[in-house]
Structures are given as C-alpha cells and as structure tokens.
Structure 1
Amino acid sequence: MRKRNHYLINQKTVLIASEFDNFGKELSRIIEGKKTFLVNRRPIQIIDETLKYYGSSLAGATQGSKAILGDKYNLPIAVNPRVFNILIPCKTSGKKGNLWLAYSHIIHPEKINTRSTRLHLNFGHSIILNMKRRNVESRQQLGALLHIRMIERTTRGATILYEPNSGFIVIEKSGEYNLDVRKDKAKMEDD
C-alpha cells in the first residue's frame, strides 16, 4: 500500500491513529469515510498542519479548549466546530502513539468488559479501546460540550442593526489625532 505524504482532516475523517513501521517510525492510520490509508506523518503533525491550514495551531486549539472547558485531562480540540470537526483523544495509558476520534462519527460506545469498550462509528466501522465505557462517554461528552459552547460563542451577538443618524458622529479634526464626538447632526453642521 502506497503511503501519502500529506493529509488534511475533513468532515469524513473518522479517526487518526498512530501506527509504527518495521523501523519504529510513527505514521498515521487514517479512516476517512469507507477508506483507510497511511500517511507519513504522526497524528499530532496532521492535526497541527490542518489547524494551521485553517489559521490556528494545535497549541492554540488546546489553549482554546482549556479556556472553554477548564483545565481538564485529555481535552478535545476543535478543528472546525461549524462542521462538527471536534477531535477526541483516546490514547490508552501505557501505549505508544495517539488515537484521535472525530466526535461527530461516534454512534455509541458498547461495554465489552470492565476495561474494554467497542465504539460503533459511522460508515460501518468499529474500534475496540482498552478504556472503560464511562471514560469513553466522558470524553465524548466533553467533545459535545466544546462543540455547543463554541457554536454559542461564535453566533452570539451576530445581529447588527443600522439606523442612519441615530448614533454619534465621530470627526477627525484636521491635522490632529483628537476625535470630536457629537450626538446630533445639527451641531456638526454649525461648526
């Protein structure tokens, strides 16, 4: 199978997982829709490059999540909240690498035993995680909360009303940086 050298996360990205080649180099296994392929980048690099493409970074997205959700452990990050692109980290402790799931592609977690959970995902996929179901659900809920709060914050106050001659008039005086602020047009015309 030929490996890709570059990848941008999109609406069909279901998961990004670390996979190691025979020499121990970390690559990324991508599941996108019904396809799967390898990318010659670590998951963290793919996430950071995608965020930079959209004008952010992994550090910025992480700080944003902390500002919105508080200083919690394993916070989700928003690649693009308007199209439900929220990624949830699901790395199992003691394992090398990373596993990131797209919050919008999780259908439901199913308890296998006290330490394992099968996640049913869109496009007919499933993955077994060595995590308790309640831990998986907790991360899924944090992803949902991040999504809701970001949508609320980006849509709040979006209505702008314009009524001509109802506000203040600001005039830059000739040759000065002082501004003259006046309430009515009549006083302005007198000057």
Structure 2
Amino acid sequence: MFNFYTEPPEITPFTAALVAQRDSNNKPMTMVLEEQGEYAVGCTPSKMIDHACKYFGSSLKGRQDGTRDICGITHKAPITVDPLSGMYFFPTISPSSSQCTWIAHSHIDQVQKKDEYDTEIIFHNGKSIVLEISYGSMLN
C-alpha cells in the first residue's frame, strides 16, 4: 500500500526516480522511488521537479537555461535540483510531456537493454524499473 499525495512533497537526496504513470482515471501521476520506499503523487514528475527547483531558489526552466548556458545541452538536459546536496536528475523524454520520467544519476547501478524499445534501470538499492526508451537514448 502506498501513501498518495495531492501536493508534491520535497525531493531529497534519497529520491532515486520520479516515474510517470497514469491513475485509474487516466490522469497523470508520479510514482516516487526513494531508497527505502515509494509513494504516489497526483501530479506529473516535471511538476515535482519544478516545485523542488523553486524550493531551492530557481525553477525547472531556470535550471534548464543554466545547463544550456554551461554545457550547451538543449534537449532532455540534465539539471541540478540542489547542487549543494548533489541532487542531479535527467529526463527520459521531453520534460513538457506528462510521460517524462526523471532519474537521479547518483542512484543508478546499472542500465540494461531489454529489447529494441525498452531499457531497465537498476538502482543501488536493488530496485529496478523498465522504461519505454531505447538503450542508446538512455545512455546519451
């Protein structure tokens, strides 16, 4: 059984992934994977990321602009939610999509190809998720 939140709780250094899903009414929601558990939130992963960035004094757009200015990455740019605590996340598809999942790079143990269109991410705590994204796109 999961806790379900309608407002985004804070993202912490223990947050491994914000997985895009749909509820029983086909509305976007997020399954938050933490080191020691998981819970559901009634908004998109990108909204959660934006909320967390604002908590730390910026916004998702501001963090994306910063990544673009520093690294030149313009599409599916990795962002820092809070550089002081080492919270860096990257999107699996365009963050404007409600199906965008965000992954914390520091929690990844392995990335494995499942088939032509699916990739499995295995986290340090042994949990794994399969995402509908090619292995090549995930490595990029």
Identify the TM-score tier after normalising by the shorter chain.
Answer: 0.7 to 0.9
Higher strand residue share: 2
In structure 2, the residue matched to 1:82 is 84
3-state SS, counterpart of residue 26 of structure 2: coil
RMSD: 1.9
Deviations 1:114-154 (A, max 9, x none): 3332211121111122333232122xxxxxxxxxxxxxxxx
Q: Is the 8 A contact 2:45 2:98 kept in 1?
A: no
Question: What is the aligned residue count?
Answer: 136
**TM-score calculated relative to the size of structure 1:** 0.65
Q: Is the 8 A contact 1:14 1:122 kept in 2?
A: no
Deviations 1:89-110 (A, max 9, x none): 0139xx8522000011111212
Deviations 1:16-61 (A, max 9, x none): 0222122222111101112111112221221111111111111100
Higher helix residue share: 1
In structure 2, the residue matched to 1:64 is 66
**TM-score calculated relative to the size of structure 2:** 0.86
In structure 2, the residue matched to 1:126 is 128
Give the Å deviation of 1:71: 4.1
Q: Is the 8 A contact 2:8 2:51 kept in 1?
A: no
* Structure 1 Cα separation of the partners of residues 21 and 81 of structure 2: 22
In structure 2, the residue matched to 1:6 is 8
Unpaired segments ≥5 residues, structure 1 = 139-191
Answer 1 or 2: higher relative contact order, Cα 8 Å, separation at least 6.
2
Unpaired segments ≥5 residues, structure 2 = none
Q: Is the 8 A contact 2:79 2:89 kept in 1?
A: yes
Max Rg structure: 1
Structure-to-structure mapping, 1:151-170, within 5 angstroms? none
